[in-house]
Amino acid sequence: MSGSTQVWQQRSAARVQQARRDQLRVRLFLLAMVPVWAFSFAPTLARAEQAADAKAKGAAKVDALDNEPAKWLRFVDDNKGGGKLEVATGTYKNDDGVTVRLIGAVHIGEKSYYEALSKDFEKYDALLYEMVKPADAGAPQPGMKSKSMVSMFQRFLKDSLELEFQLDGIDYTKKNFVHADLDAETFAKMQDEKGESLLGLMLSQMIRELAKEMEGKGGGAAKNQPDLMELIDAFNSPDAPRRMKLILAKSFGELDEQMSGMQGTVIITERNKKAMSVLRDQIRAGKKNIGVFYGAGHLSDMESRLALMGFKRTNVEWRTAWDMSTNKADGGAEKKVD
């Protein structure tokens, strides 16, 4: 065998090994996105169902929103090869002078995004937050590490994208922070009763999306899904974290459509019911300025529930969570009012 042939074979083998490593990295990356999608951006109950229920009861206001239901995540293209992932905060008021703000969260983001949120949180009489944790567990300490699979995946993702993890960027021990979520024991019991699992929900949604594609019915969500070769190319680029964020941000802007199959689940519906129960308790306790800090995918359902409680939306502001601009600015503190 000639020397040139050996060199060619060695190079071919190296390319095959690199391709396998690239595909493994992509699969790990996509696997990491499963809990992020489900817990951060999962979708909402149908507004029509709640309106029908209110009509049947003859009590709640079904026309309390003076606008169409809000969109909570959006990708803003800068037309220069970059863009931003923005998350909304909606402001709602009732006739009793109570103001509630639904503050969309993404669980990994720019450091400046969490710094700006932390500063804003100081102004609330009560800041309600999500977290499925044991009933006897206190608020998490900044930088506390969790052994849960979801937390481990999210930390893997924040390292891959060079972002900050929410539990590192937000101090949950502040006096005005109020836990407004199911405890882990109740969450597990409800899921068992429903025969529900995170993996099962995600697989069901993947099957639905695949069926749409095969029928030629793929919508905006499908067209923005990352291609395998595109992901591999992004992983190997000199600015891999920015490229990966850019690809994922475009997909996140359509997650309400992608995840519509999770209506009525414990992950979304039952946790939202708990959050609204805690909100009512805070209002009865005399709190007038209340923030609800929850994954962005929970908030359309919460908005509908606020409408049934007599609240009207008065404002929507946008904050940059991920900045993929080539000349990156301090986007986290930036607010845009629609």
Polymer length of the chain: 338
What is the pLDDT confidence band of residue 202, given thresholds at 50, 70 and 90? low
By CB atoms closer than 10 A (0-12, 13-18, 19+), residue 252 is buried
pLDDT digits (tens, 9 = 90+) for 203-237: 666 665 556 556 655 544 445 556 667 777 777 78
- pLDDT bracket for residue 326 (50, 70, 90): confident
Which stretches within the chain are classed as H helix? 3-40, 47-57, 111-121, 149-161, 166-169, 184-194, 198-214, 220-223, 228-235, 240-252, 255-258, 271-284, 299-308
Q: Which residues contact 231 (CB under 8 A, 6 or more apart)?
A: 26, 29, 30, 244, 247
**And the tokens for 30?**
């996509």
What 272-278 contacts at long range (C-beta under 8 Å, 24+ apart), as own/partner pairs, is: 272/298, 272/301, 272/302, 272/305, 274/180, 274/181, 274/182, 275/128, 275/130, 275/180, 275/181, 275/302, 276/302, 276/305, 276/306, 276/309, 278/128, 278/178, 278/179, 278/180
Q: Give tens-digit pLDDT for 302-312.
A: 999 999 999 99
Return the DSSP state at 296.
Answer: G
* Residue-by-residue DSSP string for 159-177: HHHT-EEHHHHS-TTSTTE
* Pick from 109-118, 129-138, 159-168: least confident: 159-168
pLDDT at 64: 42
| Adjacent-strand bridge partners of 85 | 75, 322
What does the pLDDT read at residue 212? 57
Percentage with pLDDT > 70 across the chain:
60
Structure-token pair, residue 337: 């009012």
Residue 90 has pLDDT above 70, yes or no: yes
Compute how many other C-beta atoms are within 10 angstroms of the C-beta atom of residue 53. 12
270 HSE (CA, 13 A, CB side): 16
Higher pLDDT, 171 or 151: 171
pLDDT digits (tens, 9 = 90+) for 29-85: 444 444 444 444 333 233 333 333 444 444 334 344 455 556 888 999 999 989 999
Q: Is the pLDDT of residue 185 over 90?
A: yes
Instruction: Fill in the DSSP letter of residue 323.
Output: E
- 111's tokens: 């450091």
> For residue 324, how many other CB atoms are within 10 A of its CB?
28
pLDDT > 50? residue 266: yes
How confident is the prediction for the chain on average, in pLDDT? 76
Confidence grade of residue 6 (pLDDT, cut at 50, 70, 90): low
Check pLDDT > 70 for residue 13.
no
pLDDT (0 to 100) of residue 284 = 98
Mean pLDDT, rounded, for 25-32: 46
pLDDT higher at 202 or 107: 107
- Rounded mean pLDDT, 184-206: 80
User: What is the per-residue DSSP string for 223-252?
Assistant: HTSPPHHHHHHHHTSTTHHHHHHHHHHHHH
Confidence of residue 199 (pLDDT cuts 50, 70, 90): low
- The pTM of this model reads 0.75
CA distance 122 to 119: 6
Average pLDDT over residues 130-155: 77
Share of the chain above pLDDT 90, in %: 38
Q: How confident is residue 252, by pLDDT bands cut at 50, 70 and 90?
A: confident
Query: Rounded distance, CA 16 to CA 40, Å?
Result: 36
Which among 140, 172, 156, 148 has a CA at the least distance from the CA of 108?
Answer: 156
**325 has pLDDT over 60:** yes
